Each structure stands twice: as C-alpha cells, then as structure tokens.
Amino acid sequence: MWIIWALLAAISAALVIVLTKAGLKNVDSSLAFAIQAVLILLITWSVVLYQGSAGTLKTLERETWIFLVVAGICTSLSTLFSYKALSLGPASYVVTIERTSLVIAIVLSVLFLKEKITWQLVVGGAVMIAGAVLIAVSGNSK
C-alpha cells in the first residue's frame, strides 16, 4: 500500500513544481510559499482533526518533538530554497537538481537509520546523479 501513497506523493510534488513555477511570475518566491504554507497548515490540521489523532500530541516524547521540529525547519528551508530557484530558473532544471536529494536521503538513511545498502540502491543513486549532471550541463540558457 505504501507504493500507492508514494506515487501519489510523486504526482503531487510534480504538480507543485509546475503550478508554483506558473504562479511565481509576478510574486516574490517567499510570499508565494507563505501563501501556500497557510493552506498546508489548514489542510493538514483539518486531516488531523478529522482522523481524531490530535489528542496524541500530549503523548509525544521529547526526542520525537526535536526530530519533528528540526524536520519542519528543514522542510521550510527546502521549500524556500526551491521556490527561489524556481523563480530564477526553468522548472525542469531546478527540479532535476533539487531531486538529487533522493541520493542524499539514501546516504543519510544508510548512515543514520542503519538501512541496508544494496547494489540496486547504489546503481539507482548513481543513475540519478548521472541524469542530474547530464541535464545540468545540457546547455540551458536561462
């Protein structure tokens, strides 16, 4: 079932890139993210309240709070950086470089989460990096 959710996330992320790029024509990238962040806040808290899981907030451990707060800061910075890049460059190039985060996430998962490294992960990561480099050096003029 996780594959379906992952595919939905990928489709949604692709739509975010294209729609954000289209919406950044006459607006500061930070303001654009601030507008979207309000919607993110409203939608996610609506889902939490609908699911009835808000009550578990008080049971979260200190370590969990630290991880989630730092991840939230990283999410905000990542999105701010992404929107700035999108405001300056073509979406297809920006997203290609940005998605090298997949390879970084693989390395960090192996190092810190002790996930098993396989030859498929190594080859897949190498192909992703090669693809990003190929696109980045393909001579885009913008």
List pLDDT tens digits, range 52-98: 999 999 999 999 999 999 999 999 999 999 999 999 999 988 988 89
Alpha-carbon distance of 129 to 46, in angstroms, equals 38
Q: Label residue 123 by pLDDT band (50, 70, 90).
A: very high
Say if residue 142's pLDDT is above 60.
Answer: no
Residue 96 · residue 128 · CB < 8 Å: no
pLDDT at 64: 96
pLDDT at 140: 58
pLDDT at 114: 95
List pLDDT tens digits, range 33-63: 999 999 999 999 999 999 999 999 999 999 9
Alpha-carbon distance of 121 to 125, in angstroms, equals 6
On the CB side of 21, CA atoms within 13 Å amount to 15
pLDDT at 141: 47
How does the average pLDDT of the chain come out, rounded? 92
